[in-house]
Amino acid sequence: MKAGQSVFATVSNFLSERFPVEHMNFQHMVEKKDVPVHNMSWGYYTGGLTLFFLMVQVVTGLFLLFYYQPTVSDAHLSVEFINKHVAGGALIRNMHTWSASCMIFFAMLHLLTSFAMKAFEKPRELTWIFGVLLLFLTFTFGFTGYLLPWNQIAVNATKVGLQSVEAVGEYLPGALSQLPHILRETFQGEASVGQSTLGRFYALHVVLLPLALLGLISLHLLSVQLHGMSRGVDQPTKKSERFFPFFIFKDLSLWSIVFLLLLILAWCIPFDSFLPYPLLAPYNALGSTPAGIKPEWYFYFLYYPLEMLPFWLILLATGLAVLVLIFTPWIFKGTSRKTLGLITVLASLYLVVMTVFGEQIYHMVKP
Amino acid sequence: MWRAKSTKESISAGFLLAVLLLLSGSAAECYPEYQAFIEKRSGKTVDCAVCHVNANGPVGRESGQIGSLSQKQLAQLNAARAAIEPEMLKEDNPILNRLGNSIIRTIGKKKFLEHRQDPEKLAELLGNKSDLDNDGIPDSQEYLDGTDALNSSHGEPFKLFLVNLNRYKYHLALAALAVFILDWGFAHLIQGFYLQSKMGKAGNHE
């Protein structure tokens, strides 16, 4: 902040640089927008694919809303009804679950490629932060949606998740230590995971989170369109292509192919077939917890380390990772793209190993 | 003489007791040998719902368990217990699900009990004809894979993929055609907008 400059003026300058309203016209945002062509150009498609899967989520989710009943007595039955008796119900539900996983996969890939391409450089800091918040929001969508079928794995995994939230309180100082407990009580709504929890998760999943997502994604996309595509590589490339119509053509063609692949997956492999069937049985509050309860695959990178290492260590690492992600534009301001690429490769390696081999590693460490 | 009669009687009594124990045992247990075999072979968790109505097995008062049966169902259960050979089975066992009853109808209770020590043989005895959930994977294969033989949405993912790909090939071909036509239409629409905006600009310059 320069001497004599008020805080308001500083904030105002910062925001006007990040949201240059003079660029807010069709000519600048569409007609004159160029997309650099280089060996990392494929990274520019990952954001679009995430958006595409979000649109599939919205459409299929709306269809599911017609039949799904958010009550503990009827939730599981209504999901079974959708699967077995509604015309195209199984296909729609499978598209919803498959595209949820795909959306999270591409959101993570988009974050990693954006990091490697240094797409967070000034004036795109806020674009990056909105993106990180969108990724967290996507994970929350996954967590809240997991409970809705009200089967054994859904309820028991949610219980474990909420217990983990409460356990964080032990490591926080003073009044802050009560915050996780309050959060758990708020989301759980009663002594154990029950009707109140289902109602609240449902409200979060279909109303509150979509509203938050709509706001954040609007800001993220607006900021992307205002600033154009980031350079992506150290040496400015001479080759570029017009966003309109050439990049949009390619994007649409890719979306078509991906839609077909999604359709094949949803038609041919019911998502539930990856789970042992006792975990898909309706939740029985009086029964014992079945073996094999674990979260969705996209939480494995956090879940298996939690099972193997002390809680405080994972909490510390997660807290640090979140802070680093949010402050990336400032922490890695002077870092070269080569170094960023190396960090990305290491982070990707960790995510892939934990997701694919996490269970085997866990059994090796704790036989 | 007395001694001989006594021996004969004790043999009969012993046989009767053994049969009763066998029958009562078979009704009350869910044969964990089969469950253990499936879990070991498939690497997946399974429960008594492989063959029984209730996932917690036949004993208890919950739905599908012996304690919840009506008089008529109990009579049905006893008749099913007594049927050692498949042809002796008149009605389904009320504590078994469709797969459980299908197994007993196909191979009979005697053979089922005989193969407790060799559970892999059960798949062979069942053959490949029966597919109760009509998902394209035979019940015997679902038994080996540890998947739900009564749920068409549950099976070994790759096997389901191949079966469904073949089953829905015409649906998928039509979907592919529709998607590509839509893509072609959108591409031309965007091209139209692009050309129109270019022509508009050219007109303005003139």
The residue ranges of every structural domain in chain B are: 2-154, 168-205
pLDDT digits (tens, 9 = 90+) for A9-22: 999 999 998 989 88
Structural domain includes residue A95: yes
* Cα–Cα distance list, B153 to A87, A134, A275 (Å): 15, 32, 11
Chain A interface test: which of B169, B183, B191 (most A C-beta within 10 Å) = B183
For residues A355 and B23, what is the distance between their CA atoms, to the nearest angstrom?
A: 48
Q: CA neighbours within 13 Å on the CB side: how many for A99? A: 29
Please say if the pLDDT value at position B21 is more than 70. Answer: no
A31, A267, A277 member nearest B151 (Cβ): A277
For residues A80 and A282, what is the distance between their CA atoms, to the nearest angstrom?
A: 10
pLDDT digits (tens, 9 = 90+) for B73-117: 999 999 998 888 888 888 899 999 999 999 999 999 899 999 999
The stretch B14-32 carries a mean pLDDT of: 50
Tokens representing residue B196 in the block: 């129109």
Q: By residue range, what is the domain housing residue A253?
A: 44-365
Residue A164's pLDDT is what?
92
Residue B9's pLDDT is what?
54
Residue B151's pLDDT is what?
93
For residues B147 and B97, what is the distance between their CA atoms, to the nearest angstrom?
A: 15
* Cα–Cα distance list, B37 to A73, B112, B143, B149 (Å): 34, 14, 10, 16
CA distance B155 to chain A (A): 6
The stretch B168-188 carries a mean pLDDT of: 95
* Residue that has been written with the tokens 């019911």 in this structure: A270
DSSP annotation string for A175-217: GGGGHHHHHHHHHH-SSSSSHHHHHHHHHIIIIIHHHHHHHHH
Residues 6+ apart with CB under 8 A from A239: A36, A37, A38
A268, A279, A292 member nearest B161 (Cβ): A268
Residue B197's pLDDT is what?
83
Task: Mean pLDDT check: name the lowest of A129-138, B25-34, B144-153.
Answer: B25-34
The DSSP 8-state label assigned to residue B52 in this structure reads B
Residue B17's pLDDT is what?
40
CATH number at residue A126: 1.20.810.10
Please say if the pLDDT value at position B14 is more than 50. Answer: no
The stretch B47-74 carries a mean pLDDT of: 91
The stretch B60-71 carries a mean pLDDT of: 92
Q: What percent of chain B has pLDDT over 70?
A: 84
Structural domain includes residue A22: no
For residues A240 and A235, what is the distance between their CA atoms, to the nearest angstrom?
A: 13
Chain A interface test: which of B135, B156, B194, B199 (most A C-beta within 10 Å) = B194
Whether residue B49 and residue A90 make contact (CB cut-off 8 A), yes or no, is no
Total structural domains in chain A?
Answer: 1
Query: Which chain B residue has the Cα nearest residue A94?
Result: B153
- Using a CB–CB cut-off of 8 Å, the residues of B that contact A are 44-47, 49, 55-56, 146-148, 151, 153-157, 160-161, 164-165, 168, 171-172, 175-176, 179-180, 182-183, 186-187, 190-191, 193-194, 197
Q: Report, as ranges of residue numbers, the positions in chain A whose pLDDT lies below 50.
A: none
Residue B29's pLDDT is what?
54
Structural domain includes residue A39: no
For residues B54 and A301, what is the distance between their CA atoms, to the nearest angstrom?
A: 35
Average pLDDT, chain B: 85
Pairing mode, strands A34-36 and A240-242: antiparallel
* Residue that has been written with the tokens 């190993």 in this structure: A353
Please say if the pLDDT value at position B184 is more than 70. Answer: yes
Residues 6+ apart with CB under 8 A from A355: A297, A298, A300, A301
The stretch B126-141 carries a mean pLDDT of: 95
For residues A316 and A327, what is the distance between their CA atoms, to the nearest angstrom?
A: 16
